[in-house]
Amino acid sequence: MPLQAHFDDRGRFTEIYRDEWRLGPRPVQWSMVRSAANVLRGVHVHALHVDYLTMAHGELVLGLRDLRPSSPSHGLSVLLTLSAEDPHLVVIPVGVAHGFYFPKPACHIYSVTTAFDGSDEFGCRWDDPGLELSWPCSAPLLSERDRAAGPLSKLLAIPSLRERA
């Protein structure tokens, strides 16, 4: 969803969320994340919460793969470039796998519809061929968890994910 930026001599003002936009479940936790250049976060998927995401500084390449069996877009993958200079709000539904690649230092703001407790964190290797995501990198910086993530096939076999997605 494009966000309207308002400019004047002092800078820029952009609303990033309004309840009246009715984008789905209401966010209950907001977080701000700074990432160095060549960082890839993910690929993750959630069975319980929806993510809302916008860029505060820099840009990211957002990789999405719809894992929801009942979705009309099931099995589709896409890479989107998000930039703070062209503000958008992205809503990532339950059951949609997602990863974030930062070609340059960046800062993004995201919210979730259930408070983080770790039980809703599932993932797979960022470069699994089954994701059909052509990331613009070959050796990104990864967290230990993301480096140790298993294949997409193992992720798809998780019962709580299959039941809710």
For the chain, strand residue ranges (E) read 5-8, 11-14, 29-35, 39-45, 51-57, 59-66, 77-83, 90-92, 96-102, 106-112, 122-123
Q: Is the dihedral of CA 51, 54, 55, 56 positive or negative?
A: negative
Tell me whether strands 77-83 and 106-112 are parallel, antiparallel or unpaired.
unpaired
pLDDT > 90? residue 24:
no
Residue 148: what are its φ and ψ, rounded to 5°?
A: -90, 0
Give the pLDDT confidence of 92-124 residue by residue, as tens digits. 999 999 999 999 999 999 999 998 888 888 999
Of 13, 3, 23, 18, give the one whose Cα is nearest residue 87. 3
Q: Is the dihedral of CA 102, 107, 111, 114 positive or negative?
A: positive
Whole-prediction pTM: 0.90
Q: How confident is the model at residue 164 (pLDDT cuts 50, 70, 90)?
A: low
Rg (CA), the chain: 16
Average pLDDT, the chain: 92
Side chain identity at 29, as an amino acid letter? Q
Q: Is the pLDDT of residue 64 over 60?
A: yes
pLDDT in tens, 10-22: 888 888 888 888 8
Structure tokens belonging to residue 2 = 């494009």
* Domains present along the chain, CATH in parentheses: 5-164 (2.60.120.10)
